[in-house]
């Protein structure tokens, strides 16, 4: 755990240059707008530890899987989000020496900050180069939310004591690599490169997937009154376009480069338009000042904040953290495009390949349901609906038949593309999360028509998978499910993971209920669907038999469900018994030791309690929580949020607060020593859940919105807005009272701590 980020309500600030922190800060201060993203790399040359990262949504490479023993059913490739054109590059060469923070003689001051209100990255540093020249650098940069194909940089160099020549090279560079690549390949083939006055462009195409990305730049150089004449040199290399400015700089004078960059791709344009669009964006932007463009961008952020901000009074650390989480989520996914999804690292790193995981359905969906228009959450569901055929193919490859679908654990296009067998492959519970998301969406929006339109097909295909995946145990006289991995990835290939067994039967029951609903609500559509999916009437009988006869491992004496068969045979120690030097165990222990231990990576049985809380009484909640939480190391970012919500429900205030800080500040404080790989974007939705469902106690109870707040003792108040069906509500929770206002929408009834509240109609705000 680290503690170098300055606490501030709206900013993420780093005040000192510490090379070991650089990659962490690069992740934290990343910028994005849903269509592209950029790590907080320095503009100029940097030879210290860095992960160069510039990403374009949807542009990926299928890196051929590399394994020792190839097994049937293994995915052909692991998808990788590609490090794309380096568009931020600005080299500064002073009297022949490149400015390189890792090599300077002295750093007099250094400060980087991300202003989340404005979506602006700032840096100021004062350094003396090895050749004795002292410079101050000030840079500002944003990735526009107003025009999501535009990036803008303002980069100023002030000479503190140097008089002499300086060269500034502003460039675009496709000669980039991924840190993570199976065969050390360069994934881009050069297509075009131009470098003329006011016309700089590079275009490259990805190997295999053939995505074209075009990047255009406009530079503007501004000298103060002391500035000398400048000469510019233009260079076009196959993957690179450089505009170099040569000038003399004198003590006290400042030179500023403005860089306007347009980035387009074949995801959104026909081949013939990619170049003209990128150039148009850069040229248009070049007609405005940095501040004018920034104002448009900031306005777009202000609209997002107006809806999504959560205010916490009395706890700066908690306030900063929730804003950071919301900020990163909206930088990653804005919901405009149903081909896109939310990679666990968003645009902040390469790990997890930028692919889609069950995280979206289990964690992110509720955030977008409550903070964005209904179409955004619906787009996330439709993304999976469109992948149904591929999920059926995926199951067929493994030997399943008759339209059974197994959704991938990791995907870009609907195909499975993970790179781990026992862990990822066997996590078939992801199929259940996709069904659960349909339920969650309908429960929240009330939009039952989704079932007839799209939902049923997905649910039936998933149910068919479970039906074939279980087997009848003669010995038990019950159905069992063997050889799976539950959400806790620190156990592989286990039998009867309680969560998976429970989720499977829930899916079957929910699918039967959904079919009955469509049959009675829209019989013609039902008939049509039955034909389409070839659904014999006897199929549900088998489902019911499984529901009635499933085996669930449990221990009556302890009053708990067992994570899997024989869990209690393990040596049952506690996380508190672990020497802190051994943590995180995934970095300190052998895999063998981890698998044998009782330590749990993330909520597993408790994930089931979170999803299905109404199915269990409070005593059962408590016993399971008290048994499993003390054995959970929370080494998955997805873990603390679920535990936080359950702790709030159980009235365990300290635990709930501890878990909140852990989920909310996971990256800011680098709890798991892995933020340098990128931020944990999907778990940031979990942070939001820990506030809204945890401290706010928000639920849907019998088709009504309900709240049962429990404010942490450290907070004076908590307030947020929430969309629910036709209403936009504002909730303010204080120590001794909760106020809920209907900001917009018809009169509605809701439940506050179990009592009915009527809110009058309002049209204060037009949404
Ligand atoms: C977690 C998975 C998760 C993945 C991507 C892993 O560490 O164990 O549950 O899907 O990260 O976030």
Ligand 1 within 6 A of CB of 352: yes
**Which of 507-516 are b and which e, b meaning 16 or more Cβ less than 10 Å from the residue's Cβ?**
bbebbbebbe
- Consecutive H or E run containing 216: strand 212-223
Ligand 1 within 6 A of CB of 604: no
590 has a pLDDT exceeding 60: yes
536 C-beta neighbours (distance < 10 Å), count: 9
> Are 36 and 334 a contacting pair, CB within 8 Å?
no
Ligand 1 within 6 A of CB of 638: yes
pLDDT, tens digit, 9 for 90 and up, residues 25-36:
999 999 999 999
DSSP state of 511: H
**Half-sphere exposure of residue 642: CA atoms within 13 angstroms, side-chain side:** 30
**Cα 409 to ligand 1 centre (Å):** 10
**Cα 333 to ligand 1 centre (Å):** 18
> Are 38 and 53 a contacting pair, CB within 8 Å?
yes
- Consecutive H or E run containing 344: none
Angle between helices 290-308 and 316-332 (to 10 degrees): 110
Q: Ligand 1 atom 7: the closest Cα is on which residue? A: 636
Measured from the Cα of 358, ligand 1's closest atom is 10
Tell which one of 345, 356, 357 to mutate to probe ligand 1, the residue whose CB is within 8 A of the most ligand atoms: 357
**Cα 636 to ligand 1 centre (Å):** 6
CA-based max dimension of the chain: 90
User: What pLDDT, on a 0 to 100 scale, did the predictor assign at position 537?
Assistant: 82
Q: Parallel, antiparallel, or unpaired: how do β-strands 212-223 and 254-265 relate?
A: antiparallel
**Cα 67 to ligand 1 centre (Å):** 21
User: Distance (Å, rounded) from C-alpha 569 to C-alpha 100?
Assistant: 56
765 has a pLDDT exceeding 80: no
**Is 503 strand, coil or helix?**
helix
Read off the pLDDT of each residue in 41-51 and give the average, rounded to a whole number: 97
SS3 of 157-174: the string is: EEECCCCEEEEEEEEEEC
User: Distance (Å, rounded) from C-alpha 672 to C-alpha 634?
Assistant: 9
**Cα 487 to ligand 1 centre (Å):** 8
DSSP state of 484: B
User: What pLDDT, on a 0 to 100 scale, did the predictor assign at position 666?
Assistant: 97
208 C-beta neighbours (distance < 10 Å), count: 13
Measured from the Cα of 602, ligand 1's closest atom is 8
766 has a pLDDT exceeding 50: no
Read off the pLDDT of each residue in 500-523 and give the average, rounded to a whole number: 98
The CA R_g of the chain, rounded to the nearest whole Å, is 27
**Cα 364 to ligand 1 centre (Å):** 13
pLDDT band at 424 (very low <50, low <70, confident <90, very high): confident
Read off the pLDDT of each residue in 460-487 and give the average, rounded to a whole number: 98
pLDDT, tens digit, 9 for 90 and up, residues 279-306:
999 999 999 999 999 999 999 999 999 9
| The pair of three-digit structure tokens given for residue 502, joined into one six-digit string | 């429970």
Asked if 571 is an active-site residue, the reply is no
Tell which one of 328, 342, 344, 677 to mutate to probe ligand 1, the residue whose CB is within 8 A of the most ligand atoms: 344
**Cα 250 to ligand 1 centre (Å):** 53
Give the neighbor-by-neighbor strand order of the sheet with 134-143. Answer: 11-14, 106-115, 120-128, 134-143, 150-159, 254-265, 212-223, 199-206, 188-196
**Is 92 strand, coil or helix?**
strand
Ligand 1 within 6 A of CB of 361: no
User: What pLDDT, on a 0 to 100 scale, did the predictor assign at position 228?
Assistant: 66
User: What pLDDT, on a 0 to 100 scale, did the predictor assign at position 74?
Assistant: 87
Please give the model's pTM, rounded to 2 decimal places. 0.96
Q: Ligand 1 atom 9: the closest Cα is on which residue? A: 487
Cα angle 367-648-435, degrees, rounded to a multiple of 5? 40
767 has a pLDDT exceeding 80: no
Q: Ligand 1 atom 1: the closest Cα is on which residue? A: 636
pLDDT band at 70 (very low <50, low <70, confident <90, very high): confident
User: What pLDDT, on a 0 to 100 scale, did the predictor assign at position 226?
Assistant: 67
User: Distance (Å, rounded) from C-alpha 301 to C-alpha 583?
Assistant: 38
Phi/psi-derived region of residue 402, left when phi > 0, alpha when psi is between -120 and 50, beta in every other case = left
Q: Which structural domains are found in the chain, ordered by start?
A: 11-303 (2.70.98.40)
User: What pLDDT, on a 0 to 100 scale, did the predictor assign at position 679?
Assistant: 98
Q: Ligand 1 atom 8: the closest Cα is on which residue? A: 636
**Is 755 strand, coil or helix?**
strand
| The pair of three-digit structure tokens given for residue 548, joined into one six-digit string | 């009635």
**Cα 392 to ligand 1 centre (Å):** 23
Measured from the Cα of 359, ligand 1's closest atom is 10
User: Which residues touch 767 (CB under 8 Å, ≥6 apart)?
Assistant: 723, 728, 744
DSSP bridge pairs for 484: 494
DSSP bridge pairs for 704: 701
User: What pLDDT, on a 0 to 100 scale, did the predictor assign at position 180?
Assistant: 84
Ligand 1 within 6 A of CB of 682: yes
User: What pLDDT, on a 0 to 100 scale, did the predictor assign at position 182?
Assistant: 86
**Cα 170 to ligand 1 centre (Å):** 39
**Cα 509 to ligand 1 centre (Å):** 27
Ligand 1 within 6 A of CB of 358: yes
pLDDT, tens digit, 9 for 90 and up, residues 252-275:
999 999 999 999 999 999 999 999
Ligand 1 within 6 A of CB of 357: yes
713 has a pLDDT exceeding 70: yes
Q: Ligand 1 atom 11: the closest Cα is on which residue? A: 636
Q: Ligand 1 atom 6: the closest Cα is on which residue? A: 636
Q: Ligand 1 atom 5: the closest Cα is on which residue? A: 344
Q: Ligand 1 atom 12: the closest Cα is on which residue? A: 344
User: What pLDDT, on a 0 to 100 scale, did the predictor assign at position 764?
Assistant: 67
Measured from the Cα of 430, ligand 1's closest atom is 10
**Which of 1-19 are b and which e, b meaning 16 or more Cβ less than 10 Å from the residue's Cβ?**
eeebbebbebbbbbeebee
Read off the pLDDT of each residue in 716-731 and give the average, rounded to a whole number: 98
Please pick, among 26, 489, 539, 676, the residue that the annotation labels catalytic. 489
pLDDT, tens digit, 9 for 90 and up, residues 11-26:
999 999 999 999 999 9
pLDDT, tens digit, 9 for 90 and up, residues 616-637:
999 999 999 999 999 999 999 9
Question: Could you give phi then psi for residue 204, rounded to 5 degrees?
Answer: -140, 160
Q: Parallel, antiparallel, or unpaired: how do β-strands 36-38 and 31-32 relate?
A: antiparallel
More confident residue, 764 or 500: 500
User: Distance (Å, rounded) from C-alpha 624 to C-alpha 627?
Assistant: 5
User: What pLDDT, on a 0 to 100 scale, did the predictor assign at position 232?
Assistant: 84
**Is 224 strand, coil or helix?**
coil
User: Distance (Å, rounded) from C-alpha 227 to C-alpha 524?
Assistant: 77
Question: Could you give phi then psi for residue 685, rounded to 5 degrees?
Answer: -70, -30
pLDDT band at 323 (very low <50, low <70, confident <90, very high): very high
Measured from the Cα of 357, ligand 1's closest atom is 10
pLDDT band at 331 (very low <50, low <70, confident <90, very high): very high
User: Distance (Å, rounded) from C-alpha 554 to C-alpha 563?
Assistant: 8
Cα angle 604-608-610, degrees, rounded to a multiple of 5? 105
**Is 63 strand, coil or helix?**
strand
User: Distance (Å, rounded) from C-alpha 355 to C-alpha 410?
Assistant: 6
pLDDT, tens digit, 9 for 90 and up, residues 364-396:
999 999 999 989 999 999 999 999 999 999 999
114 C-beta neighbours (distance < 10 Å), count: 24
Measured from the Cα of 344, ligand 1's closest atom is 12
- Consecutive H or E run containing 721: strand 717-724
Ligand 1 within 6 A of CB of 344: yes
Percentages helix, strand, coil for the chain, rounded to the nearest 5?
35, 25, 40
Ligand 1 within 6 A of CB of 487: yes
Measured from the Cα of 636, ligand 1's closest atom is 7
User: What pLDDT, on a 0 to 100 scale, did the predictor assign at position 69?
Assistant: 86
Ligand 1 within 6 A of CB of 602: yes
120 preceded by cis ω (within 30°)?
A: no
> Are 586 and 599 a contacting pair, CB within 8 Å?
no
Phi/psi-derived region of residue 507, left when phi > 0, alpha when psi is between -120 and 50, beta in every other case = alpha
Measured from the Cα of 409, ligand 1's closest atom is 10
Q: How far apart are the first and last CA of the chain?
A: 41
> Are 414 and 355 a contacting pair, CB within 8 Å?
no
Instruction: Tell me the average pLDDT of the chain.
Output: 96
Measured from the Cα of 601, ligand 1's closest atom is 8
65 has a pLDDT exceeding 90: no
User: Distance (Å, rounded) from C-alpha 368 to C-alpha 377?
Assistant: 6
Read off the pLDDT of each residue in 407-426 and give the average, rounded to a whole number: 89
Query: C-alpha dihedral over 565, 570, 572, 574, to 10 degrees?
Result: -90
> Are 653 and 712 a contacting pair, CB within 8 Å?
yes
Exposed/middle/buried for residue 389 (C-beta within 10 Å: 0-12, 13-18, 19+): exposed
| The pair of three-digit structure tokens given for residue 348, joined into one six-digit string | 């902040």
pLDDT, tens digit, 9 for 90 and up, residues 194-229:
999 889 999 999 999 999 999 999 999 999 876 666
**Cα 359 to ligand 1 centre (Å):** 7
Q: Parallel, antiparallel, or unpaired: how do β-strands 755-759 and 717-724 relate?
A: unpaired
Read off the pLDDT of each residue in 640-648 and give the average, rounded to a whole number: 98
Ligand 1 within 6 A of CB of 353: no
User: Distance (Å, rounded) from C-alpha 16 to C-alpha 30?
Assistant: 18
> Are 484 and 540 a contacting pair, CB within 8 Å?
no
């Amino acid at each position: 755990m680290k503690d170098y980020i300055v606490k501030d309500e709206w900013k993420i600030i780093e005040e000192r240059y510490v090379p070991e922190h650089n990659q962490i800060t690069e992740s934290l201060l990343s910028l994005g707008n849903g269509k592209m993203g950029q790590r907080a790399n320095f503009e100029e040359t940097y030879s210290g530890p860095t992960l160069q990262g510039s990403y374009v949504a949807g542009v990926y490479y299928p890196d051929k899987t590399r394994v020792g023993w190839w097994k049937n059913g293994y995915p052909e490739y692991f998808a990788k989000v590609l490090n794309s054109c380096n568009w931020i590059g600005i080299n500064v060469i002073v009297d022949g020496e490149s400015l390189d923070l890792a090599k300077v003689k002295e750093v007099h001051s250094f400060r980087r900050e991300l202003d989340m209100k404005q979506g602006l990255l700032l840096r100021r540093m004062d350094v003396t180069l090895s050749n004795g020249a002292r410079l101050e650098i000030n840079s500002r940069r944003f990735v526009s939310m107003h025009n999501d194909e535009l990036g803008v940089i303002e980069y100023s160099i002030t000479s503190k004591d140097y008089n002499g020549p300086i060269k500034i090279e502003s460039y675009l560079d496709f000669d980039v690599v991924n840190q993570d690549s199976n065969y050390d390949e360069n994934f881009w083939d050069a297509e075009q490169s131009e470098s003329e006055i006011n016309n700089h462009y590079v275009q490259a195409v990805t190997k295999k997937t053939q995505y074209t990305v075009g990047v255009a730049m406009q530079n503007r150089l501004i000298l103060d009154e002391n500035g000398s004449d400048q000469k510019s040199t233009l260079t076009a290399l196959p993957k690179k376009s450089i505009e170099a400015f040569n000038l003399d700089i004198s003590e006290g004078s400042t030179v500023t480069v403005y860089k306007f960059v347009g980035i387009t791709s074949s995801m959104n344009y026909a081949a013939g338009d990619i170049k003209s669009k990128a150039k148009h964006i850069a040229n248009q932007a070049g007609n405005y000042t940095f501040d004018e463009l920034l104002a448009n961008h900031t306005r777009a952020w202000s609209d997002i904040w107006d809806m999504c901000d959560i205010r916490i009074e009395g706890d700066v650390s908690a306030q900063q953290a929730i804003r950071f989480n919301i900020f990163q989520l909206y930088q990653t996914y804005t919901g405009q495009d149903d081909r896109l999804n939310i990679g666990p690292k968003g645009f902040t790193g390469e790990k997890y390949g930028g692919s889609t995981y069950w995280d979206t359905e289990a964690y992110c969906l509720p955030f977008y349901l409550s903070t964005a228009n209904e179409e955004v959450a619906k787009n996330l569901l439709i993304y999976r609906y469109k992948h149904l055929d591929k999920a059926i193919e995926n199951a067929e490859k493994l030997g399943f038949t008759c339209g059974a679908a197994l959704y991938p654990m990791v995907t870009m296009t609907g195909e499975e593309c993970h790179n781990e067998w026992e862990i990822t492959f066997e996590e078939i519970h992801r199929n259940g999360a996709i069904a659960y998301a349909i339920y969650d969406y309908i429960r929240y929006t009330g939009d039952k028509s989704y079932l007839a339109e799209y939902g049923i097909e997905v649910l039936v295909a998933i149910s068919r998978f479970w039906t074939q995946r279980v087997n009848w145990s003669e010995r038990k006289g019950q159905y069992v499910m063997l050889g799976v991995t539950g959400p806790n990835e620190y156990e592989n290939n286990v039998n009867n993971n309680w969560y998976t067994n429970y989720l499977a039967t829930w899916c079957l029951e929910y699918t039967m209920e959904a079919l009955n609903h469509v049959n009675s609500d829209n019989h013609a559509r039902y008939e049509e669907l039955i034909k389409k999916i070839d659904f014999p009437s006897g199929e549900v009988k088998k489902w019911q038999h499984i529901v009635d006869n499933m085996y669930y491992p449990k221990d009556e004496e302890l009053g708990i469900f067992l994570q899997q068969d024989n869990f209690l045979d393990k040596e049952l120690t506690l996380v508190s018994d672990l020497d802190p030097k051994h943590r995180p165990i995934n970095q300190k222990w052998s895999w063998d030791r981890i698998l044998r231990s009782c330590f749990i990576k993330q909520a597993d049985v408790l994930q089931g309690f979170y999803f299905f809380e109404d199915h269990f009484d409070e005593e059962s909640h408590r016993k399971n929580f008290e048994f499993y939480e003390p054995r959970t190391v929370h080494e998955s970012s997805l873990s603390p949020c679920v535990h936080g919500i359950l702790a709030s429900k159980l009235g365990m205030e300290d635990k709930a607060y501890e878990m909140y800080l852990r989920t909310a500040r996971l990256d800011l404080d680098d709890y798991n020593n892995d933020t340098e790989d990128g931020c944990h974007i999907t778990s940031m939705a979990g942070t939001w859940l820990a506030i809204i469902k945890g401290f706010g106690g928000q639920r849907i109870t019998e088709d009504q919105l309900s709240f049962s707040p429990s404010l942490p003792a450290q907070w004076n108040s908590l307030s947020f807005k929430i969309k629910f069906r036709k209403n936009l509500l504002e909730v303010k929770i204080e120590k001794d009272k909760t106020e809920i206002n209907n900001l917009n929408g018809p009169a509605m009834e809701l439940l506050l701590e179990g009592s009915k509240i009527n809110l009058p109609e309002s049209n204060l705000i037009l949404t």
